[in-house]
Amino acid sequence: MDNSEGIVFNIQRYSIDDGPGVRTTVFVKGCPLTCLWCSNPESQNPMPEVSYRYTSCKRCGTCVDACPVHAISLTHDGVHIDRKLCTSCGSCIESCLYEALAMSGKKMTVDEVFKVACKDKDYFEVSGGGLTVSGGEILAQPDFVAELFRRCRDEGIHTCADTSGCGEKAAMEKILTYSDLIYFDIKHMDSDKHQLYCGGPNDRILDNLKLVVNSGVPIVIRVPLIPGYNNSDENIAHISQTIVEFNKDIPVNILPYHRYGANKYRMLDMVYPLDNVVSLTEDELKRARQIIESYGLNCEISV
């Protein structure tokens, strides 16, 4: 794929949760991690894939006839897509009259995405906002993200990179060159548990965290807290101590566990792994914040 092209699965305008001010958030596909609590399962596969909204399906069977590789069948539960056979050609989507089928992810050029961002430049200037690229994992598409950020910087648009830090050092360096702010997730300090819960160790993540801190680019550490997985006092204290060792002035945001992405798993024929997990209580969140603040760090709990 050309460096000026990327695979994007969503562009969200007028966002207020992905950095300062009003922002346009671009979500790119592909992630080396498979976190059990991932709220964007459609971001994990680097390539476009067909999603199925069963609540919109009328079981008419037009998609079955339209599929050139016979990857679709009708069952008592609705449409079944054989993911091993599906080539994501889109024929089934074109045939569906009820918009029950959709393509998650499409190839877009830097120019196409940049034009979307520029539509809201006035809002960016008034609110102190800009463009955020999230995922998936942005380090999986470093050339695309870096070129998009370069275009934004030339236009005076603030850039924010939202990353798990799981990727090559060279990819991180490339994106850092044109980043005005980094949102950096830390999930678990025990590398074995990180492997178990997230599908990979945390060594490259911590190496890239050091790289970002040493670069001088402003950074916010974000900690998704998942009940029973990484919300122990020990892990929260370990995260806090690690941040202090890098720089005690780095702000920390707690991201409380939520189930907003649970229905997306069925749309992709995936099983949601944390079906029985409930959200943390206010007292549990306050305790986590108190532990972090006890290390002299500034901590906020995101809504």
Q: Is the peptide bond before 136 cis (omega within 30 degrees of 0)?
A: yes
Cα 223 to the center of its chain, rounded Å? 14
- Tens digit of each residue's pLDDT (9 = 90 or more) over 131-152: 999 999 999 999 999 999 999 9
- Which one, of 206, 163, 210, lies nearest residue 185 by Cα? 163
Work out the pLDDT band at 303, boundaries 50, 70, 90: confident
Domains in the chain with CATH codes = 5-45+106-301 (3.20.20.70), 49-104 (3.30.70.20)
Rounded to 5 degrees, what angle do the CA atoms 244, 250, 252 make?
95
- The whole-number average pLDDT for the span 72-83 is 92
Helix (H, G, I), strand (E, B) or coil at 39: coil
- Tens digit of each residue's pLDDT (9 = 90 or more) over 231-266: 999 999 999 999 999 999 999 999 999 998 899 999
* 141-145 contact pairs (CB < 8 A, 24+): 141/6, 141/7, 141/28, 141/30, 142/167, 142/168, 142/170, 142/171, 142/172, 142/174, 142/175, 143/3, 143/174, 144/3, 144/4, 144/5, 144/6, 144/28, 144/110, 145/6, 145/28, 145/175
Q: What's the number of CA atoms in the CB half-sphere (13 Å) around residue 290?
A: 7
Distance between the two ends of the chain, CA-based, in angstroms?
A: 38
- Tens digit of each residue's pLDDT (9 = 90 or more) over 106-127: 999 999 999 999 999 999 999 9
**Residues forming beta bridges with residue 134, ordered by sequence position:** 27
Work out the pLDDT band at 4, boundaries 50, 70, 90: confident
On whether the CB atoms of residues 235 and 189 are closer than 8 A, the answer is yes
Which strand (E) or helix (H) includes residue 299?
strand 299-301
Tell me the backbone φ, ψ of residue 99, rounded to 5 degrees: 55, 35
- pLDDT, residue 77, reads 84
CA distance 226 to 231: 6
Instruction: Give residue for tokens 């707690």.
Output: 254
Return mean pLDDT, the chain.
Answer: 96
DSSP notation for 72-83: EEEETTEEEE-T
On whether the CB atoms of residues 85 and 108 are closer than 8 A, the answer is no
